[in-house]
Amino acid sequence: MAASVMEKALCVLELAKTNSVILVQRRFRRRYGKPPPTRQSIYDWSKKFKETGCLCITKAVASVDEDMLRSVWTELDYRIDICRVTKDSHIDNL
């Protein structure tokens, strides 16, 4: 199972503080109660953060195109109109 961005951030921060992958793995296991990421994963995340300043998923962001943004905006605009017309009485269903 892939690590979340928060889990990756913890690993990168702990590696910067302690400079020890073993300590990072111990703190990860204690905090999240699951097996820690591999030594190589922690180093890869740290390298990526140093190079880009980000731990985000760039492929997902790159896959967003103009049509996708337009359809999301249209749906949001429609739902806001419903809230306006019903005076927020249907806001729980959004």
- Write down the pLDDT at residue 57: 62
Q: What's the pLDDT score for residue 36?
A: 95
pLDDT given for residue 91 in this prediction: 54
CA angle 11–15–18, rounded 5-degree value = 130
Structural contact between residues 42 and 24, judged by C-beta atoms closer than 8 angstroms: yes
Question: Radius of gyration (Cα) for the chain, nearest Å?
Answer: 20
Q: What is the pLDDT along the chain (94 residues), one digit of tens a residue?
A: 678 888 999 999 999 999 999 999 999 999 999 999 999 999 999 998 888 888 776 666 666 778 888 888 888 888 788 777 777 665 554 4
Query: Which of left, alpha, beta for 33 (phi over 0: left; psi -120 to 50: alpha)?
Result: left
- Looking at residue 39, its amino acid is R
Comparing C-alpha atoms, which of 18, 82, 8 is closest to residue 49?
8
The pLDDT score that the predictor gives to residue 14 is 93
pLDDT at 94: 45
| Residue 37: predicted pLDDT | 95
CA distance 35 to 48: 22
Instruction: Indicate the residue type of 4.
Output: S
